[in-house]
Amino acid sequence: MYGVIIALVPALLVSFYFFGLGSIVVLATSVAACVLLEWAINKYMLKNPRNTVMDGSAVLTGLLLGFNLPSNLPIWIILIGAVFAIGFAKMPFGGLGNNLFNPALVGRAALLVAFPAQMTTWPKVGQLGSYLDAETGATPLALMKQAIKSCDASVLDQLPTSLDLFLGNHPDGAGAMGEICALALLLGLAFMLWRKIITWHIPVSIIATVFVFSGLMHMTSPVYADPVSVILSGGLMLGAIFMATDYVTSPMTPKGQLIYGVCIGLLTVIIRNWGAYPEGMSFAILIMNAFTPLINNYVKPTRYGEA
C-alpha cells in the first residue's frame, strides 16, 4: 500500500507545481477526510478492536480521490466525496479487501453525478495562490467531444501537441490535478513494475486497447482525435496505472486481467466518443469492477498438467 503511495509522489509533486494552493487544499482535505472517516467507522460503528486505519489504504483512497477532482472544488463537496468513497463504497462491504468497487472512483462518480457543474470546470494551471477563485478553461477531452458532436475536425487544432500532453505542459485546460502529466504517472508505473507491486497486464492492455480502438476511429474520420492525444489526455493514464490496478477490485489471474483491461479500454473509448460525459475512464473501471468476481470465477490460472 505504501509502495503505491510512493509511486504517486511524482504525480503529487507535479500537481503542487501546476496547481499550487488549490491542489494542497483539495488533497489535504481528501486524505484527512478519508482517514478520519475510516478511523471513526472502525471505532464507533464496527467497533473493530484492531483499527485498520494504519494500513495506508485510506490514505491512498484519499490521494486518488483528490487526484480525480478539480483543484478549485469547495471543501464541503470533497467531504461528500470522501463519505461516498469510505462510508459507502468501502466500509459497508467489510472494509479493506472486501469492497466490490474502487472507493476513490465511487467517490468521484457520485460527485460527478451530483455536482456536474463543479466537477467539470477545470482551473487553468499556474494560478499558484488561488483556490476557489481560479480561472477555468476547456480540457483536451472537452475539445475532442466538441469535435465529434459538431462534426468539425478543425476544433482539434486547438489541442496541445502530444509532447505537451506528455509533459503536462497544456496550461489552458488541465483537467483533474492528478492526470495532467503523463510522464509523472508513467514514472509511478515504472516504480510499481520494478518493485513488483503490479504486473504489466492491466495498464498495458488498457492503454493498448484505447490506442488501437481510437486509432481505428481516427482512420474512419478526422473528427476523432489522433490516438496518441487520446491516450495522453484525461484520466486515462491515472486510471490505467493507479485505479484499474487496485488489487481488491481487479481480477487475479493474468488472463483475467487482460480481459478486464481490454474491456475497460473499449468502454472508455465508447463513453468518450459517444457518451454524455467527455471522460469515460472512471465509469469504465467501475463497470468492470462489477465484472471482476465473474472473471475470477471463470478465468482460472493454467493448472499444472494442462501445458
Partner 1 sequence: MSIKTFRIGGIHPEENKLTHEVETQMAALPKQAIFPLSQHIGAPAIPVVQKGDKVKVGTLIAGAGSFVSAPIYSSVSGTVLKIDSAIDATGYRNPAIYINVEGDDWEDSIDRSDKLETVKDHPELTPDLIVNLIKDAGVVGMGGACFPTFIKLTPPPTSKAECVIINAVECEPYITADYRLMMEKADEILVGLQLLMIAAKVTKGYIGIETNKPKAISLLTKKCTEAFSASDYEVEVVPLKQRYPQGGEKQLVDAVIRRQVPAPPAIPVNVGAIVQNVGTAYAVYEAVMKHKPLFERYTTVTGKRLAHPGNFLVRMGTPMKNLIEACGGMPEGENKLLAGGPMMGKALTSDEVPICKGTNSVTILSDDDARRKEPQPCIRCAKCVNACPMGLEPYLLAKVSEVKNWERAEHEDITSCIECGSCQFTCPAHRPLLDNIRLGKSTVMGIIRNRNAKK
Binders of partner 1 in range 90-129 (CB under 8 A)? 95-98
Q: Using alpha carbons, select from 119, 108, 101, 116 the residue that is nearest to residue 286.
A: 101
Q: Does residue 222 contact residue 153 with C-beta atoms inside 8 Å? A: yes
Closer to partner 1 by Cβ: residue 246 or 279: 246
DSSP 27-79: HHHHHHHHHHHHHHIIIIIS--SS-GGGGSHHHHHHHHHHHTS-TT--HHHHH
Cβ atoms of 91 and 48 within 8 Å: the answer is no
AA letter at 9:
V
User: CA-CA distance, 173 to 140, in Å (whole number)?
Assistant: 7
Q: Is 157 in the site for partner 1 (CB under 8 A)?
A: no
Write the interaction track for partner 1 spanning residues 191-210; mark x where CB under 8 A is met and - where it is not.
Answer: --------x-----------
Distance in Å, CB of 10 to partner 1, minimum: 23
Contact pick of 36, 46, 208, 252 for partner 1 (by CB under 8 A)? 252
Q: How far is the CB of 252 from partner 1 (least distance, A)?
A: 4
- 306 binding partner 1? (CB under 8 A): yes
The smaller minimum CB distance to partner 1, of residues 141 and 286, is found at 286
Q: Does 222 bind partner 1 (CB under 8 A)?
A: no
Q: Residue 291 Cβ, how far from partner 1 at the closest point, in Å? A: 15
52 binds partner 1 (CB under 8 A): yes
49 sits near partner 1 (criterion: CB under 8 A): no
Determine if residue 174 is left, alpha or beta; phi over 0 gives left, psi from -120 to 50 gives alpha, anything else beta. Answer: alpha
Q: How far is the CB of 31 from partner 1 (least distance, A)?
A: 19
Binding site for partner 1 (CB under 8 A): 52, 55, 57, 95-98, 199, 247-248, 250, 252-253, 300-307
